[in-house]
Amino acid sequence: MKFDPFKHHRRSTRLRGYDYSQAGAYFITLCTQSHECLFGDVIEGEMRLNEIGQIVIEEWSRSAEIRQEIEFDEWVVMPNHIHGIVVITTPDASARVGATGRSPLQPQQPRGPSKRSLGSFVAGFKSAATARINALRDTPGADPWQRNYHDHIIRNEREWNAVAKYIAENPANWSTDLDNPAKFPKHPPPTMADEYWRDAGLS
């Protein structure tokens, strides 16, 4: 297939120059491929998880248990996405951007997210959840996730409270959510975290 820069280019949603391994709080959103509703449904304002949704919750929860640097505040699994406040609590000098246990002076930098970073957590969670989902569905090699993820740095208490409220109320607001394909079938998947940030009333 010939490369089409308009079709294949994906803009990075990471903040240029920001160290995603340093201590801080992040509002993140992970979406399914094509916003397919894989994790269950919202019934009368409450999220009802199916078996795949249970896997996602288990792997999300386990991530905080196996990663000492990660803590969760408010989070929710929706039919086709996850919203959460992820807190990185223990910055590590060896985990700075561009270093993954090697000397940062080496000319060749390792690929992928740095250890103990937000990207490392997301990659590990997606990988673990994907393996179990594919085993359940007998779909080896399939990727249920939209490439990349959306994030926004939470800079103060006002933002934290607003994001937590938005996440907690997400199931109740599913009927007007732009991620709901039944209500907005022609709405393209969001490409920037700013859309979620606006929904939380912080644009």
Condensed to tens digits (0 to 9), the pLDDT of residues 190-199 reads 444 556 666 7
Per the domain annotation, does 2 fall within a domain?
no
In the β-sheet with 150-154, what is the strand arrangement from edge to edge? 70-77, 81-88, 24-31, 150-154
Residue 117, domain member (yes or no): yes
The verdict on residue 1 lying in a domain is no
Q: Is residue 12 part of a domain?
A: no
pLDDT digits (tens, 9 = 90+) for 16-57: 666 666 678 999 999 999 899 999 999 999 999 999 999 999
Angle subtended by helix axes 118-137 and 51-66, to nearest 10? 150
Q: Are 70 and 121 in contact (CB under 8 A)?
A: yes
- Asked if residue 177 lies in contact with residue 185, where contact means CB atoms within 8 angstroms, the answer is no
What pLDDT shows up at residue 203?
Answer: 60
CATH of the domain at 46: 3.30.70.1290
Mean of the per-residue pLDDT values for the chain?
78
Check whether 10 has a pLDDT greater than 50: no
Note whether residue 123 is domain-resident: yes
The total number of structural domains that make up the chain: 1
pLDDT of 36 reads: 93
Question: Is 10 inside a domain boundary?
Answer: no
86: exposed, middle or buried (C-beta count within 10 Å: 0-12, 13-18, 19+)?
buried
In a domain, 8, yes or no: no
**Quick check: is 13 in a domain?**
no
Say yes or no to pLDDT of 147 above 70: yes
Percent of the chain with pLDDT over 90: 46
| Mean pLDDT computed over 111-118 | 67
Q: How many CA atoms lie within 13 A of 197 on its CB side?
A: 18
- Domain containing residue 83: 20-104+111-199
pTM: 0.75
